[in-house]
Structure 1
């Protein structure tokens, strides 16, 4: 009868190899470490070129050019205690440079007086596009997109409230 050699050493070697492989995989799957900027003579780190730290309004740009600012304003209002107020989004977008006359917003409350599960607001951009935002308990985090305009230059389907303040 042949005896099999003791395989405990080979099991340990295999387990060690598997563990080492997992460690390598897990450490290589994380987000890349950003490079550490070199200090300048004035002791200030340079900013990466081409990426402003804060989105800006681009009056002669496209809807896509202005989506970062639209999203930032939407996120800022969403993070405030005015998150359920359509007027707060319109006022903040106006303050950021967007044209109030090109905006639409849905009602804050339902027909029976309950807070709306979803609030939508939009800015018509040019003759073909819209910046659209949606917030509310039913959406989770704010959603902002660029979409084609609907008929007659509208951005939102259905009844919207007058922006008369």
Structure 2
């Protein structure tokens, strides 16, 4: 091996060694990517929107209130809806207690929006259900006697 070939071999080994070191400084082959995941925005009230536009927001408001242990769940549900932007005059609610003063098996609250109604039901065991129904020809949402909302 000539001196020139030897020098070239040494230079190659040095350059590969140094090149490998510099690669190690910036390389992250085993790094786990950090998820950027965007949090889902909280639902919002859509003024002037229809029942379909506001159902997710209606459920968002009532599902939190309906699961809390309360003596007057109907009142709490109405108050939550009004605080969230629904018109009190468009809301109907059933009684919290039966005629014999026993807690009702369920309390139903409804909000009329145009020709549709958002209907939410809180059961005695604090489950929550909802639907969109057609408004009644009488102008309301619920059949039968409803509680007077006078607060």
The question of a shared fold, defined as TM-score above 0.5 by the shorter chain, is answered with: yes
Choose from 102, 107, 118 the match for 1:131.
Answer: 118
TM-score (norm 1): 0.66
- Rg comparison, structure with higher value: 2
Choose from 131, 145, 152 the match for 2:131.
Answer: 145
Q: Which runs of 4+ in 1 moved over 4 A?
A: none
Q: Distance in 1 between matches of 2:84 and 2:71?
A: 17
Change (3 A) 1:104 1:124: same
TM-score (norm 2): 0.72
Q: Which structure carries more helix by proportion? A: 2
Q: Which stretches in structure 2 are left out of the alignment for 5+ residues?
A: 1-32
Change (3 A) 1:69 1:123: same
Aligned residues: 119
How far off its partner does 1:85 sit? Answer: 1.7
- Matched residue, 1:24: none
Choose from 58, 74, 82 the match for 1:70.
Answer: 58
Choose from 75, 79, 103 the match for 2:67.
Answer: 79
Deviations 1:20-40 (A, max 9, x none): xxxxxxxxxxxxxxx9634xx
RMSD of the alignment, in Å?
A: 2.0
